A = this chain, B = another copy of it.
């Protein structure tokens, strides 16, 4: 049988600490050449006034016995907000839904073991990845943190933070939308029985913080060199959030994988307002991310993490990996099977007698 899961079920069974542990093992396997991953590709054509994008990435986690393909089939628009364009995915599928899938296959039999949406898994792996950056780069005696952003990704950053640095006592949250920040703080405070305070400015959030985690949809830098205090760790879910000057001031900048651009194939007549190849932001050539150590190297000990209390450190999530999906969807499947969660579809639907 092929296990079919939905996001509600995945939310119930998937925990941040399990994500972090499983990714840690997978990054070690990646460094030793056991686990493999195919770089993300974006294939784009115009679709009316919008863009149709088919985004795929593959990875194999042999220790879990699974390979996975993550597929996003997106309708993307580019509304102008203020002076800049914003990248907005349109839930154009029936029922105002998005199309993002993970297919999990067995490395022993090849069969499709599970099919699940990517919404929860993708946030959990981003949160877990940033948390690993925090684990190796933030001071162990961190007590105060700032979260910049108040959306889904921000929640996952908070969850990851409190998993690797449970000693953190104060979390200040800022985003330009006060209503969102209020709701974010009240939702998460309730969940953790801990007080997360909404603040009115970015400066107020970051001043004196040991850890700053940016999780915004901004395509411009927001964490500037003037914010960067000695001993601070700054995390970012995408390269533009931390300014070039702030990156240059850092004693150590670690990236996720070190080849921050997807393989792009696009129709000749495609027009992307911000010229960023469909992602909404570009990796600036002004800072050499390719020369930075990567998270797998950090975890394996091939490069050092934080070495002094005064260091300024950064972790930048430059590009996702198919391997992350193999790992997080792989453990999600295992958890679902042992909890008896999900539906079954006959595997015959997705296999064949004919030699392909």
A residues neighboring B (CB under 8 Å): 4, 6-7, 32-38, 41, 43-48, 52, 54, 56, 58-60, 62, 67, 69, 71-75, 89-101, 103, 105-112, 115, 117-120, 122, 152, 263, 265-269, 322, 345, 347-356
A67 to B, closest residue via Cβ: B54
Check B69 against A56 for contact (C-beta < 8 Å).
Answer: yes
Check B356 against A122 for contact (C-beta < 8 Å).
Answer: yes
Check A352 against B98 for contact (C-beta < 8 Å).
Answer: yes
The 6 closest A-B pairs by CB, nearest first: A33-B268, A119-B354, A100-B356, A93-B111, A117-B352, A97-B351
Residues of the B chain whose Cβ atoms lie less than 8 Å from the Cβ of A356: 72, 74, 89, 98-100, 117-119, 122
A119 to B, closest residue via Cβ: B354
Check A354 against B101 for contact (C-beta < 8 Å).
Answer: no
Check A107 against B67 for contact (C-beta < 8 Å).
Answer: no
Check B73 against A94 for contact (C-beta < 8 Å).
Answer: no
Question: Could you say which of B37, B110, B266 contacts A265, with CB atoms under 8 Å apart?
Answer: B37
Check B95 against A351 for contact (C-beta < 8 Å).
Answer: yes
Check B95 against A109 for contact (C-beta < 8 Å).
Answer: no
How many Å lie between the Cα of A33 and that of B4 in the bound state?
A: 37
Check A108 against B47 for contact (C-beta < 8 Å).
Answer: yes
A151 to B, closest residue via Cβ: B355
Check A101 against B112 for contact (C-beta < 8 Å).
Answer: yes
* Chain B: minimal CB distance from A109 (Å): 4
- CB pairs A–B below 8 angstroms (14 shown): A33-B268, A34-B45, A38-B263, A47-B108, A73-B105, A89-B356, A91-B353, A92-B108, A94-B348, A97-B111, A97-B348, A98-B354, A101-B112, A117-B352
Check A52 against B73 for contact (C-beta < 8 Å).
Answer: no
List 20 extra interface pairs beyond A46-B62, A98-B355, CB under 8 A. Answer: A4-B349, A7-B352, A36-B266, A38-B56, A41-B41, A45-B107, A47-B107, A52-B62, A52-B67, A52-B107, A73-B110, A75-B108, A75-B109, A91-B353, A92-B108, A93-B111, A97-B347, A101-B103, A117-B352, A119-B355
